Structure 1
């Protein structure tokens, strides 16, 4: 059994979007690479730093992790369906893949407290029951979960709550629910046959753009004014806009990348996304090294922009060089070995 995915089987647009998601995630994680100690120096949020921080809240906060989560759901369907086509047991094989991710994620937490990998692995198990479900059933579940999630966040914003209600709303409005929503969204889109055939569904995607566009604009303005007013509910407001904004971003990206010239221009970013697991793990080490070299006690928003850009440029160059000699990233290879229990030695053409 050869579980590798050849270059011809890869969908370039997915790799590009995955690479862009990694870039966006950097803008959130870089600030967390330097732990702020109580009573110590604090980042500067005045002037241009305040503007940058607000723009990160508007355009990046929680959105790019959500894009990454969507692609995880897409990856689950592609992985499981290919496993089934080979005569493998898709659910069992993916469960083993999640266990491997959990182990690596737990180790990574000791190196970077903000690692999302272990959480992804745990939430990923919730996808398993949906593999054999009908598309209509998945749609109903997705609509219900999104509705409950949004109502919970609205409840946190506006409803006076007692301790029991606050707990319930906190659970339903949690970021973990948003991650699962995007997992299930990606799985649904892949199962429905959209991935790799965007052109055939362009009218539905344009409709999605028209529906989510006004939400994107509205939430952007709301977040801007809330950030300027130091609103204590800012994170809840950002969370409320995550689903429509992420859908808007994804619809834009898939539409734009239907243009083969644009897709070709972004191919170097696709190389970063092609070994997203390795690059995600490497980001924390590169980021902490750069912060140390720069001698920063704290990381301001303007520092975040500079450091995130440097890290991503390094990863583009490294990824392009790596794939000139190898067909798979180093940690992707380890993850695959942990999933299948044997070393994959055949280089794919």
Structure 2
């Protein structure tokens, strides 16, 4: 969920980096030259995060309203089937991977921002856990608390891996853990693997490198799309639900395909539109994640029964509510960032992590 994924590198609009970091001998990488070099965000990550946030909202609304998955005739609700095949467990892996990427980018500059970087990051995750505990009272299936716990248990200890072996070790370990998580049906068990894979990608500056090689990105996207299509052709809905490892695996490949498509679009003129619409959402992901829950519950307090509004047991009305909330959050996020510069929870989170001096760095 982390949206503080800026680092010490500047990026051209096309995503091409203009500086190359150097690795410190016994610690995280820092940029060559001044330790206080200007920081910039990777816009593509903000866009991916903003789009993923929209998908997460669609997943979270039905359980908050208690929408039924089965119709009065005993059939599976058509909108529910669509959600299970194309939304559920498709955007959650993206968020988990982005969290790890954000941590990797942050670790590269952590020593320049704090004399005790691991303690600062521990404060960061404890604050996230506190938010998660409070958020769980509103949304029992929330992700902040599991993210914080896994980060403390998995990500922080990984920073003691020697610098020369860190990317390779976390990549291999993350891949194994992800495979195990998929085998056990996905859900929260895939978090450790995706966190470590993201950590390796963020630490190794893989996103900027990938944006320099759109051909390789296209091949990865085509391969993931082919695997996803094959999975759907060889199975039906019931099979995918009975064997959750199939739907978990398809969730990973479909999520990867979506991420690749977004990254490739960020190298085209569509980048202007994507950045203007979704980047503000992504930059305020934590505030918007919790804010969406509050807005959904506010709608529920006014009208708790969505089933009366459509012939799909409320699922269509729920999608329309999500679209309305997305529009509100897009507009509010853009205005907030224009006049304030950082989301309210993001600002507090950064202050708790780095203190006043580090937050200004």
The TM-score, its normalising length taken from structure 2, stands at 0.78
Is residue 198–residue 255 contact of structure 1 (8 Å, CA) maintained in 2?
A: no
Distance 1:252 1:110, change over 3 A: same
1:146 maps to which residue? 178
Higher relative contact order (CA 8 A, sep 6+): 1
> Aligned match of 1:60 in 64, 87, 112?
87
Distance change (3 Å), C-alpha of 1:292 and 1:344: farther
Q: How many residues align?
A: 317
Offset at residue 81 of structure 1 (A): 1.4
The Cα of 1:288 is off from its aligned counterpart by: 1.4
Residue 327 (structure 1) aligned with residue 344 (structure 2):
no
Aligned to 1:82: 109
Match of 1:212 among 224, 228, 232: 224
Distance change >3 Å, CA 146–CA 285, structure 1 → 2: closer
- Partner of 1:63, secondary structure, is coil
Mark the CA change 1:142 to 1:345 in structure 2 (over 3 Å): closer, same or farther: closer
What are the Cα deviations for residues 38-78 of structure 1, in whole angstroms up to 9, with x where unaligned? Answer: xxx87758899933222211221111011111110111011
SS in structure 2 at match of 1:113 = coil
In the alignment, is the contact (CA less than 8 A) between 1:108 and 1:281 conserved in 2? yes
Alignment of 1:135-214 (within 5 A): 135-150=167-182, 152-153=183-184, 173-214=185-226
CA contact (8 A) 2:65 2:304 kept: no
Contact 1:26/1:308 (<8 A) preserved: yes
**Match of residue 167 from structure 1:** none
The answer for unaligned runs of 5 or more in structure 1 is 154-172
- Residue 341 of structure 1 and its aligned partner are, at CA, apart by 4.0
- C-alpha displacement at 1:297, in angstroms? 5.8
**Distance apart, 1:306 and its partner CA:** 0.8
Out of 235-244 and 94-103, give the one that drifted further: 235-244
8 Å contact kept, 2:174–2:194:
no
- Residue 28 of structure 1, CA deviation: 0.6
Distance 1:284 1:58 in 2: 23
TM-align CA RMSD: 3.0
Cα deviations by residue, 1:289-347 (Å, 9 ceiling, x for unpaired): 1233334266632122111101101101111111121011011112122223449896x
Q: 1:284 to 1:221 in 2, by over 3 A?
A: farther
Give, in angstroms, the shift of residue 149 of structure 1.
3.2
Select between 188-197 and 75-84 the one with higher mean Cα deviation.
Answer: 188-197
Does residue 20 of structure 2 align to residue 20 of structure 1?
no
Find out whether 1:309 has 2:309 as its counterpart: no
C-alpha separation in 1, matches of 2:281 and 2:346: 12
Aligned to 1:158: none
The residue aligned with 2:297 is 288
Q: Match for 1:117 among 144, 154, 167?
A: 144
**Unaligned stretches of 5+ in structure 2?**
8-37, 308-312
My pick for the range that moved more, 200-209 or 323-332, is 200-209
Task: Tell me what 1:226 maps to.
Answer: 237
